[in-house]
Chains A and B, each alone.
Chain A
Amino acid sequence: MRRFSHEWFFLIPITVFLGLFVFYPLTRIVFRSFTDNLTGHFTLQNYVNFFTQARYLGPLRNTLWFAGVCTLVGAVGGTFVGLLASRMSPKVRSILLSFYSLPMTLSSLVVAFAFIVLLGRSGVFNIILNRYFGLPRFDLYSWEGLIVTYSFYNIPLMTLTMASVFLNLDRSLIEAARNLGAKAWQVWIYIIIPVLAPGFVAGISIVLAGMLAAFGTALALTGMAKPLFALQIYSHASEGNYDISQASALAVVLIVVIVGSLVALNWIERQLRPGGGQ
């Protein structure tokens, strides 16, 4: 018989923890999503509601749009700053990246407050825009406002990923390809994109998954006025609109949407590899 190695013993605390606080609540969600909220009988009604009612499909459509745009802004901004960071001297770069890791530890409500002070109705930037540039005031409590606010998380997050991705891009590889007679487009298709793609896709996966489920800052800024999918779950799971079975079904849908998006991104990334996903 093989000796029972002591490593397994060290996994007991985390196994108990995960079982109780991850596996058990998730099973409850799945189980509850198939039961009637009041009687507790088996039903598919919660899912039927999701597929037939505009108050669930509408917010899901909003969320897909919103998360897509936020991810695009984060990807463009983060790639740009990441590229700049990769060209800086190591010392300057580490200062910049230290600052860019700050937003991630911030409370979503502190960020909401910060943007109220900056861009709210009597926000500092709005006064400056209005008085010195004659521009109309920026409406923080709009979809655009939410995108600007969430970019404060997404651009730095993407920057950290892209900076290391660009640093890993080996310039001698590009030069070698050039010397062997590769054209510019060939260098891009066969060298640069395949090298950058895994990191880039990993970065936008993190941003997209976060945005699909985001609701804290939106709740603080616009309440329920901008119906996001996660806000619908929140309102069903909290006191206001208590229907935990419906909330559970929506949570299952959200997990499926997130996993689906991550799988799709992963598939695209594999297609970008030379030889296209074979």
Chain B
Amino acid sequence: MRRDTVVALIQRVMLVLLILYVVIPLLVPLLFSFSTLWMDIVPKGFTVRWYQRIFARPIYYQGLITSLIVAFSAVAVDVFICVPAAYAINRLRGPVGGFVQAAFKIFPLIFPPIVIGTGFVQAFNRPPFAWSGSLMLAVFAHATLGFPFMFRNVLAAFQTIDERTLSEAAASLGANLWQRFRYILIPNVIPGILAGSLLVFAISMGEFEVTTLIAGFGWKTMPLLLYRSLIDDIRTASAISGILLTTSILAFLGMSFISGRVGGGKLRMAGARE
């Protein structure tokens, strides 16, 4: 065999191994959740029994509904605070804009979930903010964990469209601020908003660390249910994991699709999810 062919072959094998390193830990739990029995190397039998069990018991499907409500609300909160902020920061030249960008980049690193959770537990258990155990508090907690990621994606979108020139052109044609936003800016930055939304959604759906600290008695999210079933009911755990995995993969496919459509758009997601 020629040397080039050998090198190409080794590269091919390396690539497959590298991809398998990420794919196997995602695929095997999915297979597990659809198998009747898995005591050996290969699973036996196909079943959706474990998923049926989830949809048959109120605690589980209510957990799914709770998770979805929290995730959608957290996305809405982050869109509401980050889109105007990204617009303003993009326009503010000079030290303020640079400082805010650097601060938001470092924020998730020095205020990790355990710190946010410890703060939330004591900050919101007394008037005027007696929100302990409410679902709303979970929404704000998830929004707090997610906003740096939303902000970064939206800001990047504003930076790529040369917002000032567009706005000035629109303004010279008589468009007011609202019209500029509605017809010019939002349609142009919507890929950034969508990418940020999917990222915040995925973070919220899987969030465990802060949620477990602030959870009330009235509700449980999917990761909280997963934590409990990991200990005593591995089959239910497999179905919950399956649902959460599918959510993550769908969000990820959506983000890839958006960044592919926008072209060369790199997702701004690095920055310690943990």
By DSSP majority rule, is chain A's interface helix, strand, loop, or mixed? helix
CA distance A259 to B88 in the complex (A): 28
CA distance A10 to B88 in the complex (A): 6
Taking the complex as formed, is A118 at the interface, i.e. its CB lies under 8 A from any CB of chain B? yes
Q: A8-B88, A32-B122 are in contact. Are A230 and B114 (CB under 8 A)?
A: yes
Which residues from A are CB-within-8-Å of B270?
A: 104, 157, 160-161, 206
Q: A258-B112, A259-B110 are in contact. Are A109 and B85 (CB under 8 A)?
A: no
Which residues from B are CB-within-8-Å of A111?
A: 25
By DSSP majority rule, is chain B's interface helix, strand, loop, or mixed? helix
Taking the complex as formed, is B23 at the interface, i.e. its CB lies under 8 A from any CB of chain A? yes
CA distance A115 to B107 in the complex (A): 30
Which residues from B are CB-within-8-Å of A128?
A: 41
Which residues from B are CB-within-8-Å of A206?
A: 109, 270-272
- Write the B161-197 contact mask toward A (1 if CB under 8 angstroms, else 0): 0000000000000000100000000000000000000
Residues 135-162 of A contacting B (Cβ, < 8 Å): 152-153, 155-157, 160-161
| Cβ of A221 to closest chain B Cβ, rounded Å | 9
Which residues from A are CB-within-8-Å of B51?
A: none
Residue of A21, A101, A103, A219 touching B267 (CB-CB under 8 A) = A101
- Write the B66-88 contact mask toward A (1 if CB under 8 angstroms, else 0): 00000000000100111011011
CA distance A152 to B22 in the complex (A): 7
Taking the complex as formed, is B140 at the interface, i.e. its CB lies under 8 A from any CB of chain A? yes
CA distance A44 to B141 in the complex (A): 29
Q: Is the CB of A107 within 8 A of B274?
A: no
Give chain B's interface residues, CB within 8 Å of chain A: 11, 14-15, 18-19, 21-26, 28-29, 32, 39-41, 77, 80-82, 84-85, 87-89, 91-92, 106-107, 109-124, 129, 140-141, 143-144, 147, 151, 177, 199, 202-203, 205-209, 212-213, 223, 226-227, 230, 234, 237-238, 241, 244-245, 248-249, 251-252, 256, 266-267, 269-274
**Pairs A–B under 8 Å by Cβ, sample size 13:** A10-B87, A12-B84, A13-B81, A22-B111, A28-B123, A101-B267, A105-B206, A105-B269, A117-B32, A118-B24, A122-B39, A210-B274, A262-B106
